[in-house]
């Protein structure tokens, strides 16, 4: 995504509009979810004719409670727009590190909306996870100019200058990107947990893919009317809807859509905290794979960050002793499927 927004366009034309990409992601997710929902309907009614399957699918998608998906749909669209704003105004490292705040916001909203209980050990694991991911993604050191082949490294992370440029003025692009990524982190936590609550409360009666169809359908309206028509309508009228599109842009859109479908499965059968741990672990895997495949040198701080991530995953999954205090407590029952009240774990 960062390369598609900041890399060479390959022509003298304008860069593609983020609002059109957000809309296309939702269209692809809608079509894919419709196909999977129809497949589920066919499996449960193998002898029903096609028009009856279509009627059942239509009634399930536009059921009386479908309006509940309006809120997460609007929030998802807003979040995607914020991510494009952030990645367009920040370098990839700053964006990735800052966006890890969604791990903590997801846990906080899980406590508030789902009544989950997090043990003291798990709180430590969450802080370690956020710190470890940030360490892995921080730009590596550069060799000193006078160092030979076996010379020492000059650990120049340049974070003082980076923060100064981000916070120096409210009109700078860096500050705009920072505010966008912070808002996206907050919106991500709220939206994911709210959608998880809706899915798990009705999973016994409404299929996951029907919920995903509803979410994508309602997401089309803010993406189309607010993003495409209101925000970028003039530019689209002048340059066209697909101005600036190339293979990298289409690949980015496809990955966004596929990621949304995978996240829906993870939320339904695990939870959002498990999703964030999996995403964090994938960063460690990518770091190790780049060292093997592309011969990228292993940096001390990145290797330490990877070890911290693995430690955080172990601590979060390990069962606390019965005397471990739970912070904070909640009187609400967790909205998990077929499980009793216990500290949150994705094992």
97 lies in some domain: yes
Q: Specify if 73 maps to a domain.
A: yes
b/e map of 241-271 (b: 16 or more CB within 10 Å)? bebbbeebbeebbeebbeebbebbebbbebb
CB 198 within 8 A of CB 75: no
From the centroid of its chain, how far is CA 316? Answer: 20
Pairwise CA distance, residues 198 & 72, whole Å: 10
In three-state secondary structure terms, 274 is helix
Q: Is residue 171 part of a domain?
A: yes
Q: What is the pLDDT along the chain (347 residues), one digit of tens a residue?
A: 877 887 777 666 788 999 999 999 999 999 999 999 988 888 888 888 888 888 888 888 888 888 888 888 888 888 888 888 888 887 766 777 778 788 888 889 989 988 888 888 888 888 888 888 777 766 444 333 333 333 333 434 455 555 555 555 444 677 888 889 889 999 988 988 888 888 888 877 888 898 889 989 999 998 999 889 988 999 999 999 999 899 999 999 999 999 889 888 888 888 788 887 887 787 777 777 777 876 777 777 778 888 888 888 888 877 655 544 444 444 444 444 444 444 444 44
Does residue 332 form part of some domain?
no
- In whole angstroms, give the CA distance from residue 197 to residue 104: 18
List all residues 6 or more positions away from 155 whose beta carbon is below 8 Å from its beta carbon: 141, 301
Length of the chain: 347
Number of domains in the chain: 1
Per the structure block, which two tokens stand in for 20? 């059109």
DSSP at 138: S
Is residue 149 included in any domain, yes or no? no
| Domain span at 224 | 2-141+157-317
Helices (H), the chain: 2-6, 18-44, 50-61, 70-89, 92-99, 101-114, 120-137, 159-167, 173-202, 208-221, 233-239, 247-269, 272-293, 300-317
Q: Does residue 345 fall inside a structural domain?
A: no
What would the two tokens of residue 115 be? 């009544």
Q: Is residue 330 part of a domain?
A: no
Residue 82 included in any domain: yes
């Amino acid at each position: 995504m960062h390369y598609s927004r900041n890399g060479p366009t390959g022509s003298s034309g304008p860069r593609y509009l983020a609002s059109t990409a957000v809309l296309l992601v939702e269209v692809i997710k809608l079509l894919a979810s419709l196909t999977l929902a129809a497949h589920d309907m066919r499996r449960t009614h193998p002898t029903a004719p096609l028009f009856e399957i279509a009627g059942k699918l239509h009634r399930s998608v536009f059921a009386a409670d479908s309006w509940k998906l309006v809120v997460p749909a609007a929030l998802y669209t807003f979040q995607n727009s914020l991510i494009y704003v952030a990645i367009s105004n920040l370098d990839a490292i700053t964006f990735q590190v800052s966006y890890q705040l969604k791990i903590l916001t997801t846990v906080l909203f899980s406590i508030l909306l789902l009544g989950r209980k997090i043990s003291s050990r798990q709180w430590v694991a969450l802080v370690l996870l956020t710190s470890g991911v940030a360490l892995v993604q921080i730009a590596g050191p550069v060799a000193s100019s006078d160092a030979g082949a076996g010379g020492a490294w000059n650990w120049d992370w340049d974070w003082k200058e980076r923060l100064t440029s981000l916070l120096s003025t409210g009109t700078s692009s860096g500050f705009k990107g920072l505010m966008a990524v912070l808002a996206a982190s907050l919106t991500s936590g709220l939206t994911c947990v709210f959608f998880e609550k809706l899915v798990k409360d009705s999973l016994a009666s409404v299929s996951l893919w029907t919920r995903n169809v509803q979410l994508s359908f309602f997401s089309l309206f803010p993406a189309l009317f607010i993003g495409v028509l209101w925000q970028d309508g003039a530019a689209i009228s002048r340059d066209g809807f697909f101005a600036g599109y190339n293979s990298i842009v289409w690949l980015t859109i496809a990955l966004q859509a596929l990621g949304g479908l995978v996240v829906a499965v993870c939320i339904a059968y695990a939870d959002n905290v498990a999703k964030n741990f999996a995403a964090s672990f994938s960063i460690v895997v990518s770091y190790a794979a780049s060292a093997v495949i592309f011969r990228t040198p292993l940096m001390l701080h990145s290797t330490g960050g990877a070890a911290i991530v693995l430690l955080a995953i172990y601590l979060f999954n390990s069962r606390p002793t019965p005397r471990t205090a739970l912070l904070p407590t909640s009187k609400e029952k967790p909205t998990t499927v077929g499980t009793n009240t216990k500290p949150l774990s994705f094992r």
